[in-house]
Structure 1
């Protein structure tokens, strides 16, 4: 196991290096730069702008800028945010944790909904229960995320006024108190529920297919022929084997939600890295944009590693050397 983890970590190094080249090249290919955005005084002279570009190294050759940038990144320094006038990591740090908390809460909702729905649909396949659940998954596959988000926001946020429609915590509570924790949780309900409604459908369909497939396996027929009760056949044989691929998806699910939080965070005005990414692009704050893409790519590689580790841990038939 440890040899496998070490090997995968070493493979991640060239992958991150290639990603850094692509990210840097794409950022430089975008029109304009930080000094041509809306962060500068509109009355500043073109000569002064060119002088600032020289001071910031924006007129240096591409390879010189990349070497300087990647050298700093390797030391954990993603540069200065031209918009926020502070280090990029100071801007990202709090936003990252907001998105991580939202993603973890979303994953809990996803599996809390998907597991019972997938089991019911697979166990009672071709019945009205299965058709109702399958109908929901078809609607989920066909409906864009922002549609679900807007419906949930309008219904539970504005019409029924059950949950906050933006932000992360109420300004009326003190940090560190239990009321503060409840307020943060309350602000995450709508965005997490909206993201879960879409993400659940894939897990439901996959689990249903696994249950239906495992019901027809020879070891299940053998268990039934021995007179084992149907409840134990499902709990000890069918469900145990059906959960293996679902467990392996956990790492991908978390990192996928972290990287794909742009739409949900924008709709619900949730100050995470998704909303920061959109704002930074519009303001041409390339230091923040490149840092977010690099961190998301790194999180994706970690998610892949986590999924492989989980699968090897829950399935005794797999031995990773």
Structure 2
């Protein structure tokens, strides 16, 4: 097991190097730079002054020279400096990562709370009316883009019914540490959590449903029924235990989203997390922030894959990682 983990971690190093080079090159290939937005917003900046700033900031260097300087700093634990926010990127991330993690954890928990019972009901009553309703919902959720669903939820519950806040992460007038502050944070989480969870349930429902349907016709289930084992025990001890194996393995990929963030939801709900920061960095050509975000997301994806393999080998004794 430990040899496998160490080998996978060593393989990640060239993958991350390649990812960083591609991300940096694509970011530098974008038209304009971080000064373009400032020049458009401030006509008093002359062309000579802009040229001096570009030279001072190193923006006139070739992309590979800038990449080498950035990689040298990264090797020393320095993610770089945000041109737009005028602060180190690690400090900028530290201000927002807790909000992204909180939103992602809420979405993950809500997804499994909704998806597991629905998947069990759909699989157990296969081809009956509960299954048809749940399957219809799954197909609808799968076919609906996240931003469309989020806008509908925002419009109905935020603007028409006015039940929940439509943006931000907390009321600006709420004092930190008070009960009112935590209630406000909870209210601001409701709409983005529901928007993300109701869409994300699709994969888990379909995986669990398919596994239950397949397990119901296997030999060990038929043998248990022939022995007179009650149907409830057949489902709890045989069918569900085997059906949860792929769901447990899929958890590793779900955890990847805890770091990657919910980019679309954060943008629609003006939620100040890493996803919203990433969109702002693209709009302002703040390429150090863009590359740092891509690197964090890529690292999370690689570790999520590794975690899925470890979970799968743990819950299924037939699988051994060497």
Q: What TM-score results when the alignment is normalised by the length of structure 1?
A: 0.95
| SS of equivalent to 1:37 | helix
In the TM superposition, what is the alpha-carbon distance from 1:179 to its structure 2 partner? Answer: 4.2
The answer as to 2:166 corresponding to 1:165 is yes
The answer as to 2:92 corresponding to 1:85 is no
Q: How does 1:229-244 map to 2 (within 5 A)?
A: 229-244=230-245
Question: Aligned partners of 1:271, 1:183: CA distance in 2, in Å?
Answer: 15
Partners of 2:104 and 2:261 within 8 A in 1:
no
Gaps of 5+ in 1: none
In the TM superposition, what is the alpha-carbon distance from 1:257 to its structure 2 partner? Answer: 6.1
In the TM superposition, what is the alpha-carbon distance from 1:297 to its structure 2 partner? Answer: 0.9
Q: Which residue of 1 aligns with 2:43?
A: 42
Q: Which residue of 1 aligns with 2:133?
A: 132
| SS of equivalent to 2:59 | coil
> Following superposition, which runs of at least 4 residues in structure 1 exceed 4 angstroms of deviation?
none
In the TM superposition, what is the alpha-carbon distance from 1:178 to its structure 2 partner? Answer: 4.6
Q: What is the CA RMSD across the aligned residues, in angstroms?
A: 1.6
In the TM superposition, what is the alpha-carbon distance from 1:60 to its structure 2 partner? Answer: 2.0
| SS of equivalent to 1:173 | coil
Q: How does 1:220-231 map to 2 (within 5 A)?
A: 220-231=221-232
Q: 1:24 to 1:128 in 2, by over 3 A?
A: same
- 148-157 or 199-208, which deviates more: 148-157
Partners of 2:24 and 2:63 within 8 A in 1:
no
In the TM superposition, what is the alpha-carbon distance from 1:239 to its structure 2 partner? Answer: 0.4
Question: Aligned partners of 1:286, 1:62: CA distance in 2, in Å?
Answer: 11
Question: Aligned partners of 1:298, 1:256: CA distance in 2, in Å?
Answer: 11
In the TM superposition, what is the alpha-carbon distance from 1:160 to its structure 2 partner? Answer: 2.2
Q: How does 1:183-202 map to 2 (within 5 A)?
A: 183-202=184-203
Q: How does 1:239-258 map to 2 (within 5 A)?
A: 239-256=240-257, 258=259
Q: Which residue of 2 aligns with 1:318?
A: 319
Q: How does 1:90-101 map to 2 (within 5 A)?
A: 90-101=91-102
Q: Which residue of 1 aligns with 2:13?
A: 13
Q: Which residue of 1 aligns with 2:288?
A: 287
Gaps of 5+ in 2: none
In the TM superposition, what is the alpha-carbon distance from 1:42 to its structure 2 partner? Answer: 2.5
Q: Which residue of 1 aligns with 2:63?
A: 62
The answer as to 2:276 corresponding to 1:296 is no
